[in-house]
Structure 1
Amino acid sequence: MPTTEVNTTELNATQSLNVIDDLSMNLEGTVQTLLVPVYEKFPFLHNTFLDIPLANLFAAIVVFLLFLLFRKLFTLIVIGTLQKISKVTETYYDDKVISALKGPIRFAFILIGAHLFFLLIFKETEFIKNVLNTLVVYTVFWAIISVMESLRSVFHHATEKFNPDLAKEMGNFILKIAKILVGAVGLGAMLQVWGINVTALVASLGLGGLAFALAAKDTASNMFGSFALLADKSIRIGEWIKVGGVEGTVEDIGMRTTKIRSFEKALITVPNQIVSNSPIENFSRRGVRRIKMQIGLTYGTSRDQVDAIVKEIRAMLHGHEKISQKETLLVNFESFGDSSLNIFIYTFTDTSNWERYLNIREDIHLKIMKIVEENGASFAFPSRSIYIEQTPDKNVL
C-alpha cells in the first residue's frame, strides 16, 4: 500500500502577507512599457547611475512626485467635497469619520508612490517590500482605530442605556479595550508580513507565562481597580476628589491609571489599585460646604452685649438665603479664652462650588463685623496684661 510522506515543515510555515503589490495595480509595468520608445529615441538614457538606468531613475522620481500631487489633489477635491456634503447632513458622525480617514489616506498615497519608485529603479528587495507591506498594514489599522476614536460618542450612547451615570467612563473604557484588541490584530498582521508564525509565537509564550504573569501583577491589579471604580461609582470624570494625598479634578479613568488635574494645574497620574484601595474624599458630591469659625471679643464686652451679638448672628444665619437650613447651625458663646471671649459659629452653605462658597463666606464675615460694631463691641487680638501690685521703693537701690 503506497504511503504519502507529509512535510510538516511546509504545514507549519506561515505565508508572508503581501498587499502592496495589489495597491500598485501593475502601474510599474505600464510605465516600463512607455519607457521602451524613450530608450530607443534617446540611447544615452541607457547609461546608469548607481546601477540604475537614467530613464528609469527619472521616471521613478516623476511617478513619486505625481503621487505626492495626487495626494494633495485628493485631499483638496475628494476629501474637501465629502466634508462639505457631510456638513449638510443632520448627523455629525460622518464629519468625524471623514476627518479621521484623512491622515491614513494621505499616507497611503506616499506608500504607493514609494513602492513604484523602488520598482522602477529595480531596487525593491525583499526587505524593502516587507517594510512597505508593514506600513500598509499599519495604515489600515491606523484608519480603523482613528474611525473608532472618532465615534467615541457612539460608545457613550451605547453604555448610557445600561448606566446613565457612568456612560462616559464605561464608554471610554470599552473603547480602550476595543482599540487594544484591534491593535493586537494589527500587530499580528504586521508580524505575518515578515513570515513570523503568530500562532506558534503565542504558543511559545506559554513557556514564560508564569514569569509574564508575575511581571504583569501590578497591571492586572490596576485593571481590576478600574473595574471596581466603575462598579462602585465612587468617582466620575470632572469631579473634585482627594485620594492618597492627591487632590484635584478627575480628567480620565483609564484601564491602568486615573489622571487627576491638581489645582496648581499639574497632571497627576495615580495607579487604579491605589485609588480603589484608598479612602476617597469626593467633594463634588457633598452638595454643601461647611463654615466653621471662632470669633473673639474683647474682655471689655459686657454680658448683655455678648448675648445680643450671639442672638443676632444666629438670626442672621437662619435668615441668610445662601445658608442651608437643613444642616446643623450652631452659634454659641463657647469659652473664656486667654485674651478673648470666644463665640463658636458652625453652619453650612447651600453649595459646594468653591468660588460661590468663598463669596458666601465673605458676606457672612462682613455681616458679623457689622453686628459686632452695631453692638458697640470690638474684636480681640492676642494680648497680655501685666499687673504690678507694688512699685519698688525709690530708696531701695
Structure 2
Amino acid sequence: MDQLLAQLPPSVVALLDKWDSNVLLITIASFLAWLVWKVIYNRLEILTQKTRFHWDDLILASVSAPISALIWCWPATISLGFILEDYTQSKLDWLSTLKLMLVIGIFVWITMRLVTNIEDYALTQKNRDETTVQAVAKVARLFFIVIGALTIMQSFGLSLSGLLTFGGVGGLIVGLAAKDLLSNFFGGLMIYFDRPFKVGDWVRSPDREIEGTVERIGWRMTIIRTFDKRPLYVPNSVFSSIVVENPSRMLNRRIYETIGVRYDDSQQVSLIVEDIRSMLESHPDIDAKQTLIVNFNGFGPSSLNIMVYTFTKTVNWVRYHKVKQDVLLKIMQIIDNREAQIAFPTQTIKLDLENAGEFAGMQPQTEHQQ
C-alpha cells in the first residue's frame, strides 16, 4: 500500500491523507456507498421474493428509502460542519446534536413506513378486521412519534422528568380548554375497542337522523356515507350518548306480512294456511330453524287475515327483496290453486225491499208540501 502511494503525485497523496475532512472526497465516498447499498438492496429483494413469508418483503421495503437518505445526509452533515468551521473559525458543538437528530429521524421514518406496510398488507387479508387493523396502526404511529419526540428533546438537554411534570399540569389545562376534542378522541377509542361497528357496516340511529355506510373511523370524527351518497361527518363523542343500530350484523331478515282472503272463501282458509306453511318450510331461502308462523289471525273489515311471519337466510338487502318477492308470488299461487281470491276493500249495501214502495210513495207528497 505504501509503495502504491509512493507512486502517486504528492498532491494526490496529500488529498488522500485528508479524505475524511475533504468535502469532495466525502461526497464521492457517499456516492460509492450508495451504489454498494443499491446492489445489496437489489440482491436482498431477489432473495426475499423467493421466500414464502411476507415480513421480510415489508421490512426491506421499509428500510430502502431511509437508508439511502442516511447514506447521503450523514456525510452531508459532516461536510456542512467542515464548511461552517472553516468559515467561522470555531468549533461547532451543535453538529453532534444534529447528527443524533438525523439518526432518530431515520429510525422513526423506518418504523412509520414499516407500520404502514404492515397495515396495507393486513387490510388485504380477508380474515382481518379493518377497523382493528387501522386502530392498532394509528396507536403504533402515535407511540413511535412520541418516543422520537421525547428522545430529540432529551438530546437538547431537556429533563424528561421535568417535562412529564409540566405535561401533567399542562395536560390538565389543555384538557379543560379542549374538552370537546378530548371527548371525541376518547369516543374514537371507545369505537375501536368496543367495536359497535366497523368500516363498511350499515349503521343507523333511532335517536338522530344518522343512517348510512361507515367509510372511515378517525380519531376525531367518523365519516358515514348516506344512501343518497352524501357524506355525513359525525363527531365520535356523539356515539357515547346515542343508540346505534348495526343492521349489517343481522343473522336473518324478517318477512312479516298479513294476507287477506275474501269472506266468501272461508272454507279454504285452513287449507291455504297449511299450504303456505309447507311452502315456507321447504323454501331453500327461508331459515326454517327460526320462528315460522302461519296462522289465521283475525277478521278484517273486508277480509279474513292470515299472518305470515318467517326469516330469510340472507341478510343482503337486494337478495332479501328477491326472496320476499318469490314468497309472495308463491302465496298468490297457493290461494289461486285453492280457487280463492285475495280480498280487497269492499262495502256491502243492503236495501229494504219491503219498505221500498212506501218510501217511493212519500216522495211526491214531500215535493207537493214543498
TM-score range, shorter chain: 0.5 to 0.7
Q: Does the residue aligned with 1:302 lie in a helix, a strand or coil? A: helix
Displacement, 1:364?
Answer: 0.6
How far, CA to CA, are the matches of 2:78 and 2:60 in structure 1? 27
Report the counterpart of residue 197 of structure 1 in structure 2.
Answer: 158
Q: Which amino acid aligns with 1:347?
A: T
Q: Does the residue aligned with 1:95 lie in a helix, a strand or coil? A: helix
Structure 1, unpaired ranges of 5+: 1-25, 35-62, 157-164
How far, CA to CA, are the matches of 2:23 and 2:194 in structure 1? 65
- Aligned residues: percent identity? 33
Question: 1:282-333, CA deviations, whole angstroms, 9 ceiling, x for partnerless residues?
Answer: 334442221112234456x422244433332222123323322333222234
2:257 maps to which of 279, 293, 297: 293
Displacement, 1:180?
Answer: 1.5
Q: Which amino acid aligns with 1:325?
A: A
Cα 1:305–1:149, aligned 2, differ >3 Å: closer, same or farther? same
Greater relative contact order structure (CA < 8 Å, 6+ sep): 1
Question: 1:260-296, CA deviations, whole angstroms, 9 ceiling, x for partnerless residues?
Answer: 5655666655555443443343334442221112234
| CA contact 1:289–1:352 (8 Å) conserved in 2 | yes
Report the counterpart of residue 57 of structure 1 in structure 2.
Answer: none
Question: 1:102-153, CA deviations, whole angstroms, 9 ceiling, x for partnerless residues?
Answer: 3333444564586578678769999x97989766643331112222343459
1:351 maps to which of 300, 303, 314: 314
How far, CA to CA, are the matches of 1:265 and 1:237 in structure 2? 16
2:57 maps to which of 95, 105, 110: 95
How far, CA to CA, are the matches of 1:304 and 1:212 in structure 2? 77
| CA contact 1:340–1:381 (8 Å) conserved in 2 | yes
| CA contact 1:248–1:263 (8 Å) conserved in 2 | yes
Q: Which has the larger radius of gyration?
A: 2
Report the counterpart of residue 316 of structure 1 in structure 2.
Answer: 279
Q: Does the residue aligned with 2:142 lie in a helix, a strand or coil? A: helix
How far, CA to CA, are the matches of 2:226 and 2:79 in structure 1? 52
Q: Does the residue aligned with 2:245 lie in a helix, a strand or coil? A: strand
Query: What TM-score, normalized to structure 1?
Result: 0.61
Choose 224-233 or 178-187, whichever is displaced more.
224-233
> Would you say how many aligned residue pairs link Structure 1 and Structure 2?
330
Q: Does the residue aligned with 2:256 lie in a helix, a strand or coil? A: strand
Report the counterpart of residue 18 of structure 1 in structure 2.
Answer: none
| Residues 1:177 and 2:139 are matched in the alignment | yes
Cα 1:84–1:262, aligned 2, differ >3 Å: closer, same or farther? farther
Report the counterpart of residue 242 of structure 1 in structure 2.
Answer: 204
Q: What do you get for the CA RMSD once the two structures are aligned?
A: 5.0
Q: Which amino acid aligns with 1:310?
A: V
Question: 1:195-225, CA deviations, whole angstroms, 9 ceiling, x for partnerless residues?
Answer: 4736355444444343222235445545655
How far, CA to CA, are the matches of 2:231 and 2:104 in structure 1? 34
Query: What TM-score, normalized to structure 2?
Result: 0.65
Report the counterpart of residue 41 of structure 2 in structure 1.
Answer: 79
